[in-house]
Amino acid sequence: MLEDEKNLIKKAKDGESHAFGLLYDWYLPKIYRFVLLKVSHREEAEDITHQVFLKAWTGIADYNHRGFPFGSWLYRIARNSVIDHYRSSGRVGTEISLESAGIELPDSENKDSKIDSKLQLEVIMQSIPRLKEVEQDVLLMRFVDDMPHEEVANVIGKSVGATKLIQHRAIRNLKDILKHDRR
């Protein structure tokens, strides 16, 4: 969570653009990668992310702090924006490479293992949009952004127990997709 976030939110609610700018700087990478891994298209991810922050800035006067970080609210807006995007474009995910996503793997002595990891990552990245929306959301929030179950549950509007169950199913389904693709 961003330091002094409550104070920044209060200032942003009063219309201080500098305060909102700091919230933007902190949350932009998180929201961007969440959207990118869901839509698998860089330009579309940039447009949707832009819309998310624009909606947040124009609607921040109505934002009420409920004990969760400001990011929870942004993730909720992002989820809805991605769904709206699918509805309007009718497109559901395309293939994206690690390079175009801006992912660089750490240097390894073993070249073969690096290639293996790269292939595995690309396969996983391309499999994410094939999961159910809520399964994608749970996996991305839990394992990319390390969000606790409680916060994820708040974003998706389910109980903590239900969120854990969705996570379990999501991993199982992803394993099935990967196994099926290997055949």
Partner 1 sequence: MTEDKIIKAFSQFKGISPDKNYALFSKNSILEARRIVPRENFANESKRLIFAMPQFTKRIFAFNKLVPSLAFAALLFAIIVSGTGLLGPKQPKIAGLNQSLVAEAKQIIETIDYKLQEEPKTEPKREESKSIDELLKEATL
Cβ of residue 154: shortest distance to partner 1, in angstroms?
Answer: 20
161 Cβ contact partners less than 8 Å away, ≥ 6 residues apart = none
Neighbours of 159 (CB within 10 A): 12
Residue choice 3, 104, 109, 112 for contact with partner 1 (CB under 8 A): 104
- Which of these ranges, 65-73, 79-87, 130-138, 142-150, lies near partner 1 under the rule CB under 8 A? 142-150
Distance CA 68, CA 42 (A): 29
The CA-based angle 145-39-22, given to 5 degrees, is: 45
Q: List binders of partner 1 among 23-42 (CB under 8 A).
A: 24-25, 28-29, 32-33, 36-37
Residue choice 49, 136, 154, 163 for contact with partner 1 (CB under 8 A): 49
**Of 160, 169, 89, residue with least CA distance to 133:** 169
Distance CA 59, CA 53 (A): 10
- Residues contributing to the site for partner 1 (CB under 8 A): 15, 17, 20-21, 24-25, 28-29, 32-33, 36-37, 46, 49-50, 53-54, 57-59, 61, 101-105, 117, 120-121, 124-125, 139-140, 143-145, 171, 174-175, 178
